[in-house]
Amino acid sequence: MTDNPTPDSAALPDGPAPDDGRRSFIKQASGFLGLALAPPLLGQAERLTATSKKVAGVSEMRLKVNGTVRTIQAEPRVTLLDALRENLDLTGSKKGCDHGQCGACTVLVDGRRINSCLTLAVMNQGKEITTIEGLAQGEELHPLQAAFIQHDGFQCGYCTPGQLMSGVACIKEGHATTDGDVREWMSGNLCRCGAYPNIVAAIRQVEKSGLKS
Ligand code: FES
Ligand code: FES
């Protein structure tokens, strides 16, 4: 019984074949390719690439929030809202639309109200950032917080941190002297529960009391 020739040996005549060089090149190339794609090496290369990208993209930032300077590590593209919520665990500021349309993320920066979803954390270094967590003085509620409770200025409460921060600024700006003014200047803060009349009443009460900050 004779051994069956392998397809390769059957196809190869004795002596050097014209395409021997090409065959040995293909074998060598396959060997290198096999090594290059070996799972452990491939995985290691991917991990190294991911790590270097991550380290390269992260910056150290110092944010002064509610009177305390906090240091975070975050990418320059991180919004102030995400930095507050994800890096500093200040989850009082809410993410409603993440597009500057609902006002749930309103915070004060150097006393001015802004949508924190529309500004980058890195741009707010060296500024005084006040969030809903910094509004009360210890156990003592801010007068507007107390007025919201008194006037039932919320139902589900999702929009409330933004309404409060915006309301405080609205009074300070002098834009709360009439109901119409309050409605106009608070129009960037939406409430799906429709607590608008009660919110206006709370803001007007605090404005009439003479509070300016
Ligand atoms: Fe910022 Fe809606 S979450 S405006
Ligand atoms: Fe529910 Fe305003 S209280 S969205």
Q: What pLDDT, in 10s, does the model give residues 149-179?
A: 999 999 999 999 999 999 999 999 999 999 9
118 and 181 together in one domain: no
| Nearest atom (ligand 1) to Cα of 188 | 4
Residues 122 and 177 in one domain: no
In this structure, the answer to whether residues 63 and 130 fall within a common structural domain is: yes
Please report the pLDDT score of residue 130 as a whole number. Answer: 98
Percent of the chain with pLDDT over 70: 73
Number of domains into which the chain is organized? 2
Q: Which helix (H) or strand (E) holds 166?
A: helix 160-173
Q: Which of 111, 134, 157 is the last residue of a domain?
A: 134
Centre of ligand 1 from the C-alpha of residue 180, in Å: 23
Cβ 154 under 6 angstroms from ligand 2: yes
CB 199 within 8 A of CB 166: no
Domain boundary among the residues 83, 106, 134 is at 134
Segments in 116-187 forming alpha helices (H)? 143-150, 160-173, 179-185
pTM of the model: 0.75
Atom nearest to 103 CA in ligand 1: 4
> Position of tokens 């995400």?
82
Both 176 and 200 in a single domain? yes
Q: What range defines the domain where residue 120 resides?
A: 59-134
Domain shared by 163 and 103, yes or no: no
Mean pLDDT (whole number) for 32-57: 53
Sign, CA dihedral 203-207-208-209, equals positive
Closest CA to 70 of 78, 61, 79, 58: 61
Q: Which of 97, 163, 165, 191 to mutate to test the pocket of ligand 1 (most atoms within 8 A of CB)?
A: 97
Q: Which DSSP category does 12 fall into?
A: P
Q: Is residue 177 part of a domain?
A: yes
